[in-house]
Structure 1
Amino acid sequence: MKLQRKNGLRATALGALAISGALVLTACGSDDNAGGTGGTGEKTNAASNIKCDDAKGKLLASGSSAQKNAMDLWVKNYMAACTGVEVNYKSSSSGEGIVAFNQGTVGFAGSDSALKPDEVAESKKVCKGGQGINLPMVGGPIAIGYNLPGVDNLNLDASTIAKIFNGKIKKWNDPAIAGLNKGVKLPDTAIQAFHRSEDSGTTQNLGKYLGATAKADWPYEAEKKWPAPGGQAASGSSGVAAQVKQAEGSIGYFELSYATSQSIPTVKISTGAAAPVEASSENASKAIAAAKIKGTGKDLALGLDYTTKADGAYPIVLVTYEVVCDTGNKAETLGTVKSFLTYTASEEGQKVLSGAGYAPIPAEINAKVRETVAGLK
């Protein structure tokens, strides 16, 4: 295998490295949960199908806050199975995760959007003899959460969402909103729209949806940086959700689990289907199931259809990628990267997502992810 040479840094130095604000989860299992070693030398957990294989030491990763709640579950389960191994995922943003990956400070990065050509080119400096590739791992709906006491059911379409977030619609009883919510008493309350303050793949995916379905009202390129004037900024999906939770008249966007965990009502999207579509794991799965692989070689970046009008298909979806080197991974973390990502892409790993507000990646795509992970060098 081609492994990146250590540049004078010993693997033990990683054990002393601390990242401010990083999420560090300790194994919650006792020694009774520890995996044994079979006749083949392969370590497995007696209570699960997690294969620890050559995993060892500490694995640092960072990026997407949209996948944080999924990572919490995965890390907890994995570390309970693979005692003595620590996976440390810092929830920041997709942009920060890619920067950290291309600086060589993390074993993998989480990103809500696939690597751009310039980011792939930059990755070749770290992935000696290879490059960064995208492995789809987490799917889910981007919920539009709101805080409007007395309004428990709210329908919006792409045009009204675009006009709200670029400041064209300023009051909740605006005729455009009222027209989509017949019989609902909407207050004469000012709208407070919150967006992400840092580069965010969630922002970019929302922009892709609005650009595809409401171009006349959203004339911006789909970038990670928030493009529209006005509004208020907050850090991370958790920050946006916290602001919406506390500010009456507010609206924001974040991964669904942030809404469900804080009991924030979410918008139903009028897509042209028979009925407005609710943000749910099941409805997001219907949209993600139509995704096609658009990456080449070992890259598994997906193409999503944001314009779907299929009944029950929620259109504002994201797929979070784990970004790794196809060749040139660090020797001291390669075994853990392969073991951990094999678990997250497994049927068992994907099954835990639905209960947390995520949508599992389609099985046939997951099979290709596992095959690619097995071949990492």
Structure 2
Amino acid sequence: MMLQRKNGLRAVAAGALVVSGLLALTACGSDDNSGSSGGDASKQAGNIKCEGKGSLLASGSSAQKNAMDLWVRNYTAACGDTQVNYKATGSGAGIQEFLQGKTAFAGSDSALKPEEVTASKEVCTDSQAIDIPMVGGPIAVGFHVGDLDKLTLDAETLAKIFDSKITNWNDEAIKKLNPGAKLPDLKIQPFHRSDESGTTDNFTKYLKAAAPSAWPHEPGKAWEAKGGQAADGSAGVSSQVKQVNGAISYFELSYATSGSIPTVDLKTGAAAPVQATTENASKAISEAKIVGKGKDLALQLAYDTKAEGAYPITLVTYEIACEKGNKADTLQATKSFLTYLASEDGQSVLKERGYAALPPEIATKVRETVTALS
């Protein structure tokens, strides 16, 4: 079983590297924003309809970075008149740049707050920003405990680990969940995000929903619990887990697969512990409900699901754009790029990078919403 798990991680990581290698020759985005000239450039490149030209700037969620890298390479290879530059600054910073009018759209792993919607009316002419879900996936809990490559935890134990209530890997609570495992007398070193992060928001929403008595803190993009160590971005926390014996942290599955980092199986109340896989995340995301109003497609995720095979620590990354009143010089390119992301082709490549495609019924609404942007 342990050998199978290691081989599975290596296979997925190898698949991602193959895709990356095949796409390495395609054009990447540019940081230069001086060339945004708008225009009516329109052509069909394969299944991608290219419209607009110039520089398309966006920033935000680091959770979707690996997916965005692939999307940008595919799109710019087909649509050479548009240079797409996406900076993984974190959800909080991305929303702030969008609200300051610096970017055409933002990526966020959390839906807009009411005050952010209000602020967006300053940059969206006679309108406001909306949440457009585009990519989903599991938030894996990666660990580095000697040569251990299989570990089961539940929400209560995770909450106590990240709240510094359980501090050693041979704690009785961990032993009980992992009978027969060789758990060392080793200090637990939990890492959390130092930046405001939608990944943190979703992870703490899971802890609050699934273990409310063990997690006294309010969910949010900023980490509230005491103790632990911090690192910047998903790349930062995952690299710490890779390097530090005794470490544990939360990050998107793509970072675990690319770094060959083993991940926690979750005891949820289902018949068997649930692995962090795109398929299992899709089962949980399919239970999500649209709670946004009008064209806003904010989702309510089922963090406390006990459904068989449903992995509950999930996130959905939204692209944040103006429903109306988008900047004229980037509107067509924004719609063209987001149309590709929401298309069957755009969604079908996600699994290669450890992400989950949108459920069909949500994807249909997303395509309708993108088409109506003005």
Identity fraction in percent: 64
Distance in 2, matches of 1:106 and 1:27, equals 26
Whether the 8 Å CA contact 1:194–1:251 is kept in 2: the answer is yes
Q: How many residues are aligned here? A: 339
Distance in 2, matches of 1:27 and 1:136, equals 29
- Is 1:100 aligned with 2:100? no
Corresponding residue of 2:319: 322
Please list the CA deviations of residues 206-234 of structure 1 after superposition, one character each: whole Å capped at 9, or x if unmatched: 01100001111101111100010000000
1:296/1:135 CA distance change after superposition, 3 Å: same
- Is 1:221 aligned with 2:218? yes
* Structure 2: stretches of 5+ with no match in the other structure: 1-22, 28-40
Deviation at 1:150, TM superposition (A): 2.4
Partner amino acid for 2:328? Answer: A
- Is 1:308 aligned with 2:302? no
Please list the CA deviations of residues 304-335 of structure 1 after superposition, one character each: whole Å capped at 9, or x if unmatched: 11111111100000000000000110011000
Corresponding residue of 1:28: 26
Which deviates more from structure 2 when the two are superposed, residues 61-70 or residues 149-158?
149-158
- RMSD, aligned CA: 1.2
Partner amino acid for 2:44? Answer: T
Corresponding residue of 1:43: 43
Distance in 1, matches of 2:210 and 2:71, equals 34
Distance in 1, matches of 2:152 and 2:112, equals 33
Corresponding residue of 1:72: 69
Corresponding residue of 2:121: 124
Whether the 8 Å CA contact 2:137–2:316 is kept in 1: the answer is yes
- Is 1:188 aligned with 2:185? yes
Corresponding residue of 1:285: 282
Q: How does 1:104-253 map to 2 (within 5 A)?
A: 104-253=101-250
Distance in 1, matches of 2:273 and 2:215, equals 21
Stretches (4+) displaced over 3 A: none
Residue 169 of structure 2 aligns to a residue whose secondary structure is coil
Distance in 1, matches of 2:149 and 2:91, equals 32
Q: How does 1:50-69 map to 2 (within 5 A)?
A: 50-52=48-50, 54-69=51-66
Distance in 2, matches of 1:369 and 1:277, equals 29
Deviation at 1:26, TM superposition (A): 9.2
User: Which residue, out of 339, 347, 351, partners 2:348?
Assistant: 351
Whether the 8 Å CA contact 1:26–1:79 is kept in 2: the answer is no
Distance in 2, matches of 1:178 and 1:372, equals 49
Please list the CA deviations of residues 118-141 of structure 1 after superposition, one character each: whole Å capped at 9, or x if unmatched: 000000000010101000001000
- Is 1:368 aligned with 2:347? no
Partner amino acid for 2:342? Answer: A
Distance in 1, matches of 2:371 and 2:170, equals 54
Higher helix share: 2
Residue 239 of structure 1 aligns to a residue whose secondary structure is helix
Whether the 8 Å CA contact 1:27–1:79 is kept in 2: the answer is no
Distance in 1, matches of 2:194 and 2:310, equals 29
Deviation at 1:42, TM superposition (A): 5.0
* Structure 1: stretches of 5+ with no match in the other structure: 1-24, 30-40
Corresponding residue of 1:331: 328
Whether the 8 Å CA contact 1:162–1:218 is kept in 2: the answer is yes
Partner amino acid for 1:79? Answer: T
Distance in 2, matches of 1:50 and 1:173, equals 53
Whether the 8 Å CA contact 1:241–1:254 is kept in 2: the answer is yes
What TM-score comes out, normalization by structure 1 length?
0.88
Corresponding residue of 2:9: none
Corresponding residue of 2:33: none
Corresponding residue of 1:297: 294
Whether the 8 Å CA contact 1:26–1:86 is kept in 2: the answer is no
Residue 51 of structure 1 aligns to a residue whose secondary structure is strand
Whether the 8 Å CA contact 2:42–2:52 is kept in 1: the answer is no
Deviation at 1:238, TM superposition (A): 0.3
Whether the 8 Å CA contact 1:58–1:88 is kept in 2: the answer is yes
Partner amino acid for 1:263? Answer: S
Distance in 2, matches of 1:50 and 1:231, equals 45
Deviation at 1:367, TM superposition (A): 1.1
Please list the CA deviations of residues 23-52 of structure 1 after superposition, one character each: whole Å capped at 9, or x if unmatched: xx99716xxxxxxxxxxx95111xx31111
